[in-house]
């Protein structure tokens, strides 16, 4: 989803494959963001989105766990690209001087922490007992790669926040973790094996915009997915991309 009111914004949400009606739930999460884009405090933002999403589930008669979905959004104000992320996914940036970087949020056992788990203490405790408190951010730029670890706090909302200065950056994008699911089958000995693609290569292909008029992200996605297919790559998870370019 994307829009220009009250500021330029994009939202990406990826539903949990094992949760009922999570396709609808991801759309509910994404649409619930829009009324609260003006909130800069991440705790107030996340709480408001969660309350809104749960209320919409009730109105539609959907189970509450249908909103087990990730959330990544960008809002561009006068000074910053303001990015908020709940769950796994990728944030990519391009500075005015051409420095490209991306930050991939990963959770252990491929089990992202969803905003839905903040609904009550029992849900959150159940997740922490099963999957632990630690998740990580893997970052790469033109010259280096590094990793940082984060800890889920039982008593605070888990939300990653990035603020990129508008005067220094040309583009900020958010992507679902499906970007990391590309692979190709290659010959090895007398058989064939699956070989994972480099995430940086996939991100670069998806964000190689040729122009910025109209639905430029959708055009690039269509072209990139065809190029990757022609090169023998397949993806095992859904891919969603949203970007703001100035």
What is the third-level CATH fold of 2-245?
Phosphatase 2c; domain 1 (3.60.40)
As a whole-number percent, the residues of the chain with pLDDT over 90 amount to 91
For 54, counting Cβ atoms within 10 Å of its Cβ (0-12 exposed, 13-18 middle, 19+ buried), the class is middle
In this prediction, residues 80-108 reach a mean pLDDT of: 96
Between 143 and 224, the more confident residue is 224
| pLDDT score recorded for residue 186 | 87
| Percentage of the chain lying above the pLDDT 70 cut | 100
* Per-residue pLDDT band at 24 (split at 50, 70, 90): very high
Dihedral sign computed on CA atoms, order 23, 59, 125, 114? positive
Mean pLDDT of 192-205: 93
Mean pLDDT of 12-35: 94
- The predicted-structure confidence for 115-169, as pLDDT tens digits, reads as follows 999 998 999 999 999 999 999 999 999 889 999 999 999 999 999 999 999 999 9
Tell me what pLDDT residue 76 has. 96
> What phi and psi values does residue 170 have, to the nearest 5 degrees?
-95, -35
| Spatial CB neighbours of 65, under 8 Å, sequence gap ≥ 6 | 19, 20, 25, 116
Question: Which 8-state DSSP code applies to residue 147?
Answer: E
Q: How confident is the model at residue 181 (pLDDT cuts 50, 70, 90)?
A: very high
pTM value? 0.93
pLDDT at 191: 81
Who's near 240: CB < 8 A, 6+ residues apart?
Answer: 12, 13, 14, 175, 176, 178
Q: How far is CA 198 from CA 40, 99, 223, in A?
A: 34, 19, 19
Residue 151, pLDDT score? 96
Rounded average pLDDT over 64-76: 96
Predicted local confidence at residue 190, as pLDDT: 78
pLDDT value at residue 187: 82
pLDDT for position 123: 94
pLDDT at 60 over 80: yes
Give the per-residue pLDDT at 143: 87
- How many whole angstroms from its chain centre is CA 230? 26
Please tell me the predicted confidence (pLDDT) of residue 112: 96
Is the pLDDT at 189 greater than 90, yes or no?
A: no
Question: In this predicted structure, which of 40-49, 104-113, 124-133, 182-191 has the lowest mean pLDDT?
Answer: 182-191
Confidence of residue 102 (pLDDT cuts 50, 70, 90): very high
């Amino acid at each position: 989803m994307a829009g220009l009111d009250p500021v330029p914004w994009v939202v990406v949400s990826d539903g949990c494959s094992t949760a009922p009606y999570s396709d609808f739930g991801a759309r509910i999460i994404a649409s619930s963001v829009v009324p609260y884009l003006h909130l800069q405090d991440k705790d107030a933002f996340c709480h408001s989105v969660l309350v809104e999403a749960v209320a919409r589930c009730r109105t539609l008669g959907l189970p509450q766990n249908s909103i087990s979905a990730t959330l990544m959004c960008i809002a561009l104000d006068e000074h910053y690209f303001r990015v908020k992320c709940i769950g796994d996914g990728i944030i990519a940036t391009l500075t005015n001087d051409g420095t490209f970087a991306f930050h991939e949020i990963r959770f252990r056992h491929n089990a992202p922490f969803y905003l839905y788990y903040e609904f009550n203490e029992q849900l959150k405790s159940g997740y922490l007992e099963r999957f632990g408190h630690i998740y990580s951010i893997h970052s790469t730029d033109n010259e280096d790669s590094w990793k940082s670890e984060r800890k889920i706090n039982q008593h605070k909302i888990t939300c990653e926040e990035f603020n990129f200065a508008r005067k220094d950056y040309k583009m900020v994008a958010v992507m679902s973790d499906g970007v990391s699911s590309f692979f190709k089958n290659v010959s090895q000995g007398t058989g064939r094996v699956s070989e994972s693609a480099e995430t940086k290569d996939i991100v670069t292909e998806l964000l190689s915009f040729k122009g910025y008029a109209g639905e430029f992200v959708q055009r690039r996605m269509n072209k990139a997915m065809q190029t990757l297919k022609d090169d023998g790559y397949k993806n095992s998870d859904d891919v969603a991309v949203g970007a703001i370019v100035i």
